[in-house]
Amino acid sequence: MPTIFVTDRAGSQHTLKVDNGLTLMEPLREIDNGIEALCGGMCSCATCHVFVTPEWYAKLPARHSDELELLESTECFRDGESRLACQVKVTDAIDGIKLTVAPEE
Ligand code: FES
């Protein structure tokens, strides 16, 4: 069960244990000041935008073109950090990942 370290929109830190097979969207929408995930993971709203630390970003599977297109349409897009939480699967490979919830648009 991987552990993820999250800084929420208010700047508070959370340490979450997450089941493999979920996406990062599920735990992040349960915390206070987390993500909205309005489209429920359909890669069409960008309200699950997070900034992954660069060292962890490099370890994640690459973004698909539709994820990148949506992220680039946001005001706070950061190349090399921005991901949609709904498009990142939770596996043992991301145990210890550090991320921050992006500002509300
Ligand atoms: S939940 Fe809508 S794009 Fe991720």
Domain boundaries, the chain: 3-101
CB 99 within 8 A of CB 31: no
Ligand 1 mean position to 43 CA, how many Å?
5
Ligand 1 mean position to 55 CA, how many Å?
23
Threshold 0.85, pTM exceeds: yes
Q: What is the pLDDT along the chain (105 residues), one digit of tens a residue?
A: 999 999 999 999 999 999 999 999 999 999 999 999 999 999 999 999 999 999 999 999 999 999 999 999 999 999 999 999 999 999 999 999 999 999 998
Assess whether the C-beta atom of 63 lies below 6 angstroms from ligand 1.
Answer: no
Tell how far CA 93 is from the center of its chain: 15
Query: How buried is 72 (Cβ within 10 angstroms: 0-12 exposed, 13-18 middle, 19+ buried)?
Result: exposed
Nearest C-alpha to atom 3 of ligand 1 is from which residue? 43
CATH architecture of the domain with residue range 3-101: Roll (3.10)
